[in-house]
């Protein structure tokens, strides 16, 4: 039996949840969410578990921390 291993939090492209609204990526339209994430806004939800993350924005970028999956970081305009 081989179970599918969930990707790490950093691999947001394959993660099951939208990092902006926390909804399931397979349901609904997240084009607007992805546009925001690609331009001005840091993610607010963990893409792996959809928990709300603690987000800090600073002049050079942002860090977002999930209580289960740890910290991820990016820079402004990280499309
Ligand atoms: Zn979304
Ligand atoms: Zn998480």
Q: Is residue 5 part of a domain?
A: no
Decide which of 77 and 37 is more confident. Answer: 37
- Whole-number Å distance, alpha carbon 68 to ligand 2 midpoint, is 5
Domain, as residue range, for 32: 14-74
What confidence score (pLDDT) does residue 12 get? 45
Half-sphere exposure of 70 (CA within 13 A, CB side): 4
Q: Is residue 7 part of a domain?
A: no
Q: Put the strands of the sheet holding 54-58 in their side by side order.
A: 54-58, 61-66, 70-74
What confidence score (pLDDT) does residue 67 get? 96
Q: Is residue 23 part of a domain?
A: yes
- Whole-number Å distance, alpha carbon 59 to ligand 2 midpoint, is 25
Q: What is the pLDDT of residues 11-69, one digit of tens each?
A: 545 789 999 999 999 999 999 999 999 887 899 999 999 999 999 998 888 999 999 99
* Size (the chain), residues: 79
Query: Are the CB atoms for 54 and 65 separated by under 8 Å?
Result: yes
pLDDT band with cut points at 50, 70 and 90 for residue 2: low
For the record, the structure tokens of 78 come out as 């990280």
Please tell me the total count of domains within the chain.
1
Beta strands in 1-79 (DSSP E): 54-58, 61-66, 70-74
Q: Is residue 63 part of a domain?
A: yes
Q: Is residue 24 part of a domain?
A: yes
- Whole-number Å distance, alpha carbon 42 to ligand 2 midpoint, is 15
Q: Is residue 6 part of a domain?
A: no
What confidence score (pLDDT) does residue 3 get? 62
Q: Is residue 3 part of a domain?
A: no
- Whole-number Å distance, alpha carbon 55 to ligand 1 midpoint, is 17
Query: Are the CB atoms for 64 and 44 separated by under 8 Å?
Result: yes
- Whole-number Å distance, alpha carbon 8 to ligand 1 midpoint, is 19
């Amino acid at each position: 039996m081989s179970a599918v291993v969930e990707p790490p939090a950093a691999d947001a492209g394959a993660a099951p949840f939208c990092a902006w609204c926390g909804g399931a990526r397979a349901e609904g339209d997240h084009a607007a969410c992805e546009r925001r994430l690609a331009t001005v806004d840091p993610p607010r939800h963990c893409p792996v578990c959809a928990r709300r993350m603690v987000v800090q924005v600073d002049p050079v970028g942002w860090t977002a921390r999930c209580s289960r999956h740890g910290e991820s970081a990016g820079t402004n305009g990280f499309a």
